[in-house]
A = this chain, B = another copy of it.
C-alpha cells in the first residue's frame, strides 16, 4: 500500500506537505505542488479513507432507506439520491424497510453501529417517531422523503398531495363521475392522510355524497388492495362507485387487475386515477390519468439537504421542500 510517507520520500518533502497537496489546504508553492502531484500519479496513490475517518469522524457514506424497493417510485428516488451523493463525494447505501417498522429499526441500528454520516428515509409511518429518537440520540443527521411525521421537525422533501389529489378528482368530476371511491394507503402514513383529506374536502365542496364504504384503507404494497376492490364491487349497484381514486400506483394496478378479473373493463365502466406513474404497466390498456411525482428530484433534493446539514452549510431552521406532481392526462 502506498502511503503519504512513500510519496513524501520520493518527492523529497514531508508527509505533511503531501497531505496539504491532497487536501488543497494551506499554502503550497506551485513548484512543490506540481512535484508532489506528479509523484502521486506515478505511484498510483490512493488515500486511505479509514485513516481519514479516524480523525475526521466522517465516513462519507449516506444511507437511503426506502419502504418498497419494488416500487418504481422509490427506485427513482434512489437514482436521484445516488447521483447527488456521488456528485458530492459521498457513497450511498440503499436499503429497503419493506413498509415494516421493525426492519426500519434494525437498519437504523446498523447505521449506528457501522456509522453513516447521515440518513435519508421514507418512514414506514408515524410510529417511526421512535426510531427517530434513536437517530437523535446518536446525533445522526437525517432527512425525510415523501412522508412526514407529526411532531417531527426536520429537513424534508414531500409531494404536494393536496393539489395532486384535487386535480385527479377534478379530472374525474369533469368526466361526469359523482360516485368516487378512495382506496387509500395506511392512515399512519402522512401521504394517505393528506390524500384522504383532499378527497373529503373535494367531495364536500362539490356536494357529493361521501359514502363511508367508498373509503377503504389498505397498504401501498403490491397486491395489498385486491380485497378492497372486491369490497367495492360487492356493493349493491346503486351504491357502486363509478370511479376509483387509488392512492398510489400499486393500488391502481390492483384495481385494474381485480376489475378485469370480475369482467369489468376499466376505465370504461369504472374509471381509475392514481398517484405516481404506472411505468411499464401503462403499456397495457387502460391508460390511466395519473399524478406523476418528481421522484428523482425527491431523492436528489433530499440528499442535497442532507449533505448541507452534514457539512453545516444549512440554516439551523429546518427546511420543508414541497415538490409538485404533474398530472398526466391519458385515455
| Residues of A near any B CB (own CB < 8 A) | 1, 46-51, 53-54, 57, 59-60, 69-70, 72, 75, 78-79, 82, 86, 91-96, 110, 112-115, 222, 250, 253-254, 256-257, 260, 279-281, 283-285
Please name the residue on chain B nearest to A284 by beta carbon. Answer: B284
Residue numbers in B under 8 Å from A115 (CB-CB): 46, 49
A18 to chain B, nearest CB (A): 17
Please name the residue on chain B nearest to A285 by beta carbon. Answer: B260
Contact of A284 among B1, B46, B60, B257 (CB under 8 A): B257
User: Which of A72, A91, A279 has the largest number of chain B CB atoms within 10 A?
Assistant: A91
How many copies of this chain are found per oligomer?
2
Contact of A260 among B46, B260, B284 (CB under 8 A): B284
Q: Are B281 and A280 in contact (CB under 8 A)?
A: yes
Give Cα distance in the complex from A93 to B90, angstroms. 12
Known contacts A82-B95, A92-B93, A284-B256, A112 near B46 by CB under 8 Å: yes
A70 to chain B, nearest CB (A): 6
Q: Are A110 and B93 in contact (CB under 8 A)?
A: no
Give Cα distance in the complex from A53 to B281, angstroms. 46
A171 to chain B, nearest CB (A): 23
Listed from nearest, the 3 A-B pairs whose CB atoms lie closest are A50-B53, A257-B283, A94-B94
Q: Are A78 and B86 in contact (CB under 8 A)?
A: no
A76 to chain B, nearest CB (A): 9
Residue numbers in B under 8 Å from A94 (CB-CB): 93-94
A296 to chain B, nearest CB (A): 13
Give Cα distance in the complex from A308 to B190, angstroms. 43
Q: Are A69 and B79 in contact (CB under 8 A)?
A: yes
Residue numbers in B under 8 Å from A49 (CB-CB): 59, 114-115
Give Cα distance in the complex from A95 to B92, angstroms. 8
12 cross-chain CB contacts under 8 A:
A46-B115, A50-B50, A50-B54, A54-B54, A69-B78, A91-B110, A92-B93, A93-B94, A250-B280, A253-B280, A257-B284, A260-B285
Residue numbers in B under 8 Å from A47 (CB-CB): 113
Give Cα distance in the complex from A57 to B59, angstroms. 15
Q: Are B95 and A114 in contact (CB under 8 A)?
A: no
Give Cα distance in the complex from A53 to B53, angstroms. 10
Please name the residue on chain B nearest to A52 by beta carbon. Answer: B50
Having A50-B51, A70-B72, A70-B75, one finds 18 other A-B pairs with CB under 8 Å, namely A46-B113, A46-B115, A47-B113, A49-B59, A50-B50, A50-B53, A69-B79, A82-B95, A86-B110, A91-B93, A94-B94, A250-B280, A253-B280, A254-B283, A257-B283, A257-B284, A260-B284, A281-B284
